[in-house]
Structure 1
Amino acid sequence: MKLHELKPKKGSRKPRRRLGRGISAGQGASCGKGMRGQKARSGPNPFRGFEGGQMPLYRRVPKLKHFTRVNPRRYTTINVGKLAGLEANTEVTLATLNEAGLINDAEGPLKILGDGEINVPLQVKAEAFTKSARQKIESAGGSCEVLT
């Protein structure tokens, strides 16, 4: 095989369309672009995202880094440090904390946060725990049970 014998594979190279060269050429008159309008004109088409004069999507959506959640999950939170005042081996739930006066408004499920220190073993039952809260409760000899 020599350099002058090289050819592209049959069917891989197509001739370019010769637009507007008469009806027998197949692309005469309107060149396959329809009658008139912005996309039939010579030159580039409208920019990407153009919606025909309608307010485009990228301008309709909020300009924030994130969208707010429609139904956010709101927890009743309490820190581990506030649980340190309870007696040993007490069962801690949302109802018992409300009775003890440690929380004022029980609006949602209970979540235990890890701020503060605890050295009393407690049986805590809540819907969610932070890693540090779980670690502190278990290192004090207590247990964490996740409710669903």
Structure 2
Amino acid sequence: MKLNTLAPSEGARKNKKRVGRGPGSGSGKTASRGHKGARARTGYSAKPGFEGGQMPLHRRLPKRGFNNIFKTVCTIVTLDDLDRFEAGSTVDRLALVEAGLVKKDGPIKVLANGDLTKAVTVKVDKVSQGARERIIAAGGQVEE
């Protein structure tokens, strides 16, 4: 086998449909685009959700619920995540960013998922009650 003898398997490649090539082809004259109208024109493209002037589905369906635009979303850090830090170290935003656990913006909250075996000092925005008790039980401190 040589590079000049390589060929795709039979039926793997199919020729593009050639439209507008006369009445004998079955897709001549209007090239399967119909008569006039926007869809027959070159460069036509419908916007996403456009239904030909009919009220689009996303406008027909009712809106439900309430969306609080002032809601603060905290980045969650678990006790399992805190367990990777060395004993006696201070865990603050900078340490969490360097460890790749949080991004730079937004408040941080520690939740009591998992176990903490080392005594660490935690300096974040919020700490759940269960997490606070477990950090103190492990010999650590919580500063908010």
Equivalent-residue separation in structure 2 for 1:107 and 1:77 (angstroms): 13
Aligned counterpart for 1:108 among listed residues 106, 115, 122: 106
Root-mean-square deviation (CA, aligned residues, Å) is 1.8
Alignment partner of 1:71 is 2:82: no
Equivalent-residue separation in structure 2 for 1:104 and 1:126 (angstroms): 12
Runs of at least 4 residues of structure 1 off by over 6 A?
Answer: none
Residue 85 of structure 1 deviates from its aligned partner by 1.6
SS of 1:137's partner is helix
Q: Which residues of structure 1 form unaligned runs of 5+?
A: 1-61
Residue 96 of structure 1 deviates from its aligned partner by 0.8
Equivalent-residue separation in structure 1 for 2:113 and 2:124 (angstroms): 16
Equivalent-residue separation in structure 2 for 1:137 and 1:144 (angstroms): 7
Using the aligned pairs only, state the percent identity: 29
Equivalent-residue separation in structure 2 for 1:110 and 1:104 (angstroms): 8
Equivalent-residue separation in structure 2 for 1:69 and 1:137 (angstroms): 33
Aligned to 1:139: 137
* 1:74/1:107 contact within 8 Å kept: no
Aligned to 1:23: none
- Structure with higher Rg: it is 1
Aligned to 1:84: 83
* 1:76/1:106 contact within 8 Å kept: no
TM-score (norm 1): 0.51
Provide, for residues 61-91 of structure 1, a one-character-per-residue CA deviation record: whole Å limited to 9, x for no partner. Answer: x653xx2212111212110111112101110
Provide, for residues 24-43 of structure 1, a one-character-per-residue CA deviation record: whole Å limited to 9, x for no partner. Answer: xxxxxxxxxxxxxxxxxxxx
SS of 2:80's partner is helix
Number of aligned residue pairs: 83
* CA distance 1:63–1:75, shift in 2 (3 Å): closer
Q: Which residues of structure 2 form unaligned runs of 5+?
A: 1-62
Equivalent-residue separation in structure 2 for 1:105 and 1:97 (angstroms): 8
Spell out the pairing of 1:1-148 with structure 2 (5 A cutoff): 63-64=64-65, 67-101=66-100, 103-146=101-144
* 1:87/1:120 contact within 8 Å kept: yes
